[in-house]
Structures are given as structure tokens and as C-alpha cells.
A and B are shown apart, each in its own frame.
Chain A
Amino acid sequence: DAKTTQPNSMESNEEEPVHLPCNHSTISGTDYIHWYRQLPSQGPEYVIHGLTSNVNNRMASLAIAEDRKSSTLILHRATLRDAAVYYCILRTYSGGGADGLTFGKGTHLIIQP
């Protein structure tokens, strides 16, 4: 399975932008970059995903490096509700429809008021 590397934790202030980095140097051409977040005692929540181009949605933006070996999740204006563990995952579409996501340890994002 392709692996990702994320910092264990990051801290930011409320109402400031947050940039969460992810390295995936062994990414293959068919891997999509997915981001999920998990609040305490809740199931993971889909945030955003992309292949090559930068992506925006109502929750966040995803900036993908030109060589696709790294990406950055951008929360434009962090709130206390954004405090969570953020997971960067590569979704590989293998033959036969098998595509279980492999979660790493993620980045624990702390938001200071």
C-alpha cells in the first residue's frame, strides 16, 4: 500500500488559516489523495479529495504539488470545531473493485482560542 507521512500534531489559532502537510513520495499515477478528519468519539468525516489539480469545497482546499509527491490541506479560517485528527490517505482503485482505505496516525490539530 502506498504510504503517507504527516506531522503528529499541529497547533493553530482560531480564525487563522491552517496548512496541514502530507508527503506521499511513492504515489502512483492512479492514486487519488483523500483527506478525512475525526473528532473525538465520532466516525471519520470525508473532507476533500483530488488527483492532480487543486480542489476547493465548502470545507477546505487541497493543494497538490506538481509532482504529486506531497499535498496540503488548507482550512481557510480555523474554528474550534476544526480541532480533530486529520488523515491524509491514498485511495487506490485496484482490480475487482477492491479499495479499502488504509489510515495512518494522522495529524492531531489543536486550535487555540
Chain B
Amino acid sequence: DSGVTQTPKHLITATGQRVTLRCSPRSGDLSVYWYQQSLDQGLQFLIQYYNGEERAKGNILERFSAQQFPDLHSELNLSSLELGDSALYFCASSNLGSNYGYTFGSGTRLTVV
């Protein structure tokens, strides 16, 4: 157990639907990062939140959004789902500063049918 909890582990949904992925960071970590990993794209950085505020954006589609709540858990919302959104979605947490690495969760496998 890495300390980062992601739910659900698996999700199957139809095209056009909306889903929410949840992440609880490791205790004490203020930063949360979301990544998408598909077979042909590798690990793609989507977005970072630090203590409730958005800090960095990567290759995140407009159909996707995220937020970090006061208790530091984060949710990634994916809407108008397409077949190409099928992927593993990872959440990671860290603290800012040179002494820290990222701790990743075990991921949510999203299948859009």
C-alpha cells in the first residue's frame, strides 16, 4: 500500500457518459497530480493541485476537470466520454520541495464501450 488511495479500481461506462475518479493523497502530502496512461501514449500529465488550488496543467482535455477539496482529496471528472478515453488514470501525491518524490496510487482502469 503506497498510501495513495484511488477509487474505483475499475470502471466500465458507455460513450457520452460522465464519470468521477477519486483520489486520497498520502497523509501529509499537499500536492495531487493526475496522469493518464494509454497503450499508445505512455504516461501523460493532466493536472496538479496544491492545497486546493490548481498549480499546473498538462495535456488535459476541456471535457475533463478536476478539483481538490479542503480535506485534500481530489476528484477527476471525465465527461462526454469517447472510446479513446479508455485508459489507466493514476493519481500521485507529493509535497513541494527538493526532498520529496511522488507517491502513486494503483490507478483506475476506465473502459469506455
Q: Which residues of A contact B (CB under 8 A)?
A: 32, 34, 36, 38, 41-46, 49, 51, 87, 93, 96-105
Contacts and interface: CB of A to CB of B under 8 A. Distances in A.
B101 A34 contact: yes
Given A93-B97, A105-B42, 16 more contacts: A34-B102, A43-B105, A43-B106, A44-B92, A45-B104, A96-B55, A97-B31, A98-B48, A98-B55, A99-B96, A100-B45, A100-B48, A101-B45, A102-B45, A103-B43, A103-B45
Contact of A100 (B42, B58, B101, B106): B58
A102 B92 CA distance: 13
B96 A43 contact: no
A45 B3 CA distance: 12
12 contacts: A34-B101, A36-B101, A42-B107, A43-B105, A43-B107, A44-B104, A45-B2, A46-B102, A98-B48, A99-B31, A103-B35, A103-B45
Interface of B: 2, 4, 31, 33, 35, 42-45, 47-48, 50, 55-56, 58, 88, 90, 92, 96-98, 101-107
B50 A97 contact: yes
A105 B55 CA distance: 25
Contacts of B102: 34, 36, 44, 46, 101
Nearest to A30: B98
B106 A49 contact: no
B43 to A, nearest CB: 4
Given A93-B98, A99-B56, A43 B104 contact: yes
A97 B55 contact: yes
A36 B102 CA distance: 9
Contact of B96 (A45, A46, A97, A104): A97
Contacts of A104: 42
Residue with the greatest number of chain B CB neighbours at <10 A, chosen from A38, A96, A98, A105:
A98
B102 to A, nearest CB: 6
